[in-house]
Structure 1
Amino acid sequence: MPLNANIRAAQAVVSSRQRLQKGLSRDASKLMKKPLSIRDAKRQYKGSNKSSIARIVKQLEVAKTADFSLVPEPNNSRPRLLSDAEEEAIVCFIIWMQKSGLPASKGEIEDAANTIRSRRDPHAQPVSRMSYRRFRDDHPELDTSILKSKEAARYEYEEAGVEETKQWFKRLSEVITRYRIGASECWNADQAGIRVGILRERMQCLVVRTKKKTPTEVFSPEDRETCTVIGTGNAAGATTPPWLIFKAFPTIEWSDIDGDPNMRFAQSETAFSNAEITLEWAKHFNRWSWEKSATVQHRQLDFEQWFGCNEHLKSEFNPITPYDMPPGTEGKEEEELVWRLLIIDGFSGHGSFAFREYCIKFNILVAFLLPHSTHMLQPMDLGVFQWLKNAHQKRLREALRKGNLTFNRRDFAGSFKEIFEEGFTAAHIIAGFEKSGIFPPTEAPAVGYLLKKKLKTHNAIDPALSSLLPAENRFPMASDTARDVSNRYHDILSSPTHRGLEAVQKIVSEAIVLEDIVKKHVANRQERIQKRYQQRKRGKRGRP
């Protein structure tokens, strides 16, 4: 805003010029007086500036007024790339893309804007790289979201798996009730892959502020060897010694590692579990989970005395040839047996005949989680493994702070006892069972998660922003308006205008038909997703 002295001086100059043009500026001899010059105005009005007065005078003359308050504010913003109607068309495009199941990305929105501009002006330049940000700021009814791809089978389960999840929990409750499964007999086992010497790529930290902001980087040992951890826990918060699977067996230099003596190592070509490792792990789990059972502790049962053999189906009287069945449990009634429930995912090693047969022999009930549901039903995933991986990152950073430039599998195994104890706490394990609804058995968490996913696309729009969205009845309204204008002003409109209105009516009618087709397409897509999931459950494959 200019200074008051400059404004008053400029207004005096313009007023004197206007009086001269009207013939009102005369002296005593009735001769025309010279108008007030900018130099004289500067002398009369203390604190004014000659160039500022000249600029304001020009603005007043363009506005044809001597009152500065009547001068319109200058528009210093850039010219708009799209009109209001064209921007609303972009908003409609965004809405349709979201309804179709594939929300519009930045590139698609820019392409739509370029298409509209090229239809108006074939020589129009593409929109700038900042146009998307300005468009987003101008439309508060739109919000940014992270588009995350999801495997088809998991997406199908979340779309149509509510009823199946309810049935699964119903069967789980029946099994727990029938076989008197307590918290100490309800187990979950899962595997987690850990890259031994890789720091997490993204982590928040604090650094000293500098004039030029640069990325904060840190040295990483880059030991990409993978280790698979098999961890177990029951609903009472107890656990069994872990298993670590590497590509190579431990060497003699590992003998001085300060680790859990009950921890087991295994080797596979891929560093992941397989059917053979799973069977050996089951024997290890059988022995340790028996000792953690509250029923066993209350009845003071000994493993060998109860089953008549050890976990390898051998005894001191028969140390070479294994039994076909534990001799100690033959002839016992179902109510007398001690049952344990093991909940696992559908990993191929868990489905081997040898593994299932072994569990049956020792009264271990195996419940397989629903396919593609482990992200919400696996207690180890929900409550433990993230803490375990955080503890691993903590030990890795401590090693780097001490000046070590490497962190190999021996270092990992040496610190794994602390890592395991920090991750597999009773609180974390119990929290995993509660979050998943496995024990006490309740379908509420899982079903609530699925319903929330399904309702996410139908969330209520903020009332303060709903008025900014295009009207749902915009196509019929436009058709009725075009017809009314054509009928009411038929006699005064020219022939080209009549033809233009007829074209508008045809285009709007076409848009109404296309809208109905798109709605049916979206509904059909959701129906096919559910149908495909149901056919996969029956062992068939739905149409893609």
Structure 2
Amino acid sequence: MDETGMAYEHRPLKVVTLKGQKKIKCRTSGNKTQTTVVACINAVGQAIPPYVIYNAKTLNPRWMENGVAGARYARSENGWIDTELFKIWLKYHFLQYAVSNRPLLLILDGHKTHYNLEVCEYAKEQGVIMFCLPPHSTHVSQPLDTCVFKPLKSEWNKVAHNFQAKNPGARISKYNFPSLLKEAWEKAMISSNICVGFRNSGIYPFDPDKIRPTIENMESETDTDHDDSNDEIGGRNMELHEFDPTLR
């Protein structure tokens, strides 16, 4: 599970222009807003519908039309996930789509919004093991970061670019965001991308050597900047072990 921000003002694609021209223009939305999208995938290549969080004081029903089937929508003051929204996601969205087998391993980063006593106790009651990835390692250890969010952002740029080209003067907003996200989501959140993410991160099939060189380089750089043999905080002195579902 992880979150990413989808910017309404997309990154323009390649354009055709005269050779030597220095100032090249491309139409974009001009809307600096971004919306948080929470994604969750599994090792067999499946993704549950997104959890969309708008930056708003109230949630307009029209912001939920024509989106990904099964998607859930929420709002927060800054458009980011918080502890309460994560609790709602876990109880009413994640577990709705989760398999019935237990224990169930939920891999996520160490952001403070993911952890409080109530959430951890509820997860334990439901047979969900919340596994926090090592600090500063999610760029190689989080499957969504390694091979899924990049294709999603790429498809989003294409969808946004085509929308602006076909609708001169129109802006991407909360009203058309669900339908545009749906188009990008269905092209990017495919089994092949998801499975490669788990494989490249060494999670499934389990292979610590996939990320060991990167982790060791991180530890070496940390040792150079801060030499303290007793410091085990911040991801140093980490060992990679195979997950044992019998340990709860």
Same fold (TM over 0.5): yes
Partner Cα distance (1:530, 1:376) in 2? 24
Candidates 407, 417, 425, aligned match of 2:190: 425
Q: For residues 51-91 of structure 1, give each alpha carbon's deviation from its aligned partner in whole angstroms, at most 9, with x where no partner exists.
A: xxxxxxxxxxxxxxxxxxxxxxxxxxxxxxxxxxxxxxxxx
Q: CA deviation at 1:527?
A: 4.3
- Counterpart for residue 73 of structure 2: 265
Q: CA deviation at 1:454?
A: 8.1
Q: Which has the higher strand share?
A: 2
Partner Cα distance (1:397, 1:527) in 2? 45
Candidates 368, 376, 383, aligned match of 2:132: 368
Partner Cα distance (2:7, 2:15) in 1? 26
Matching of residue 213 in structure 1 with residue 21 in structure 2: yes
Equivalent residues of 1:382, 1:435 under 8 A apart? yes
Partner Cα distance (2:233, 2:159) in 1? 44
Q: CA deviation at 1:223?
A: 0.8
Candidates 108, 113, 122, aligned match of 1:358: 122
Q: Percent of aligned pairs with the same residue?
A: 25
Q: For residues 283-338 of structure 1, give each alpha carbon's deviation from its aligned partner in whole angstroms, at most 9, with x where no partner exists.
A: 121121126xxxx5xxxxxxxxxxxxxxxxxxxxxxxxxxxxxxxxxxxxxxxxx2
Structure 2 letter corresponding to 1:347: H
Candidates 181, 187, 206, aligned match of 1:441: 206
Structure 1 letter corresponding to 2:29: P
Q: CA deviation at 1:261?
A: 4.0
Equivalent residues of 1:233, 1:429 under 8 A apart? yes
Matches within 5 A, 1:301-340: 338-340=102-104
Partner Cα distance (1:537, 1:251) in 2? 41
Partner Cα distance (2:230, 2:68) in 1? 45
- Counterpart for residue 193 of structure 1: 5
- Counterpart for residue 231 of structure 2: 534
Equivalent residues of 2:51, 2:72 under 8 A apart? yes
Candidates 18, 42, 45, aligned match of 1:234: 42
Equivalent residues of 2:68, 2:179 under 8 A apart? no
Q: Which moved more, 1:267-276 or 1:348-357?
A: 348-357
Partner Cα distance (2:177, 2:211) in 1? 35
- Counterpart for residue 89 of structure 2: 281
Candidates 47, 51, 57, aligned match of 1:243: 51
Partner Cα distance (1:359, 1:193) in 2? 26
Secondary structure at 2:35's aligned position in 1? Answer: strand
Q: CA deviation at 1:274?
A: 0.5
Aligned length: 232
Higher relative contact order (CA 8 A, sep 6+): 2
- Counterpart for residue 385 of structure 1: 149
Root mean square deviation of aligned Cα: 2.6
Sort the Cα spacing of 1:533 and 1:373 in 2 relative to 1 into closer, same or farther, 3 A: farther
- Counterpart for residue 409 of structure 1: 174
Equivalent residues of 1:259, 1:417 under 8 A apart? yes
Equivalent residues of 2:135, 2:234 under 8 A apart? no
Partner Cα distance (1:288, 1:454) in 2? 37
Q: Which has the higher helix share?
A: 1
Larger Rg: 1
Q: Return the TM-score normalized by structure 2.
A: 0.84
Q: Which runs of 5+ in 1 are unaligned?
A: 1-188, 297-337, 458-524, 539-544
Equivalent residues of 1:225, 1:409 under 8 A apart? no
Partner Cα distance (1:452, 1:351) in 2? 29
Equivalent residues of 2:27, 2:165 under 8 A apart? no
Q: For residues 370-407 of structure 1, give each alpha carbon's deviation from its aligned partner in whole angstroms, at most 9, with x where no partner exists.
A: 11111111110011111111111111111111133211
Equivalent residues of 1:229, 1:242 under 8 A apart? yes
Q: Which runs of 5+ in 2 are unaligned?
A: 236-248
Equivalent residues of 1:339, 1:363 under 8 A apart? yes
Sort the Cα spacing of 1:451 and 1:352 in 2 relative to 1 into closer, same or farther, 3 A: closer
Q: Return the TM-score normalized by structure 1.
A: 0.40
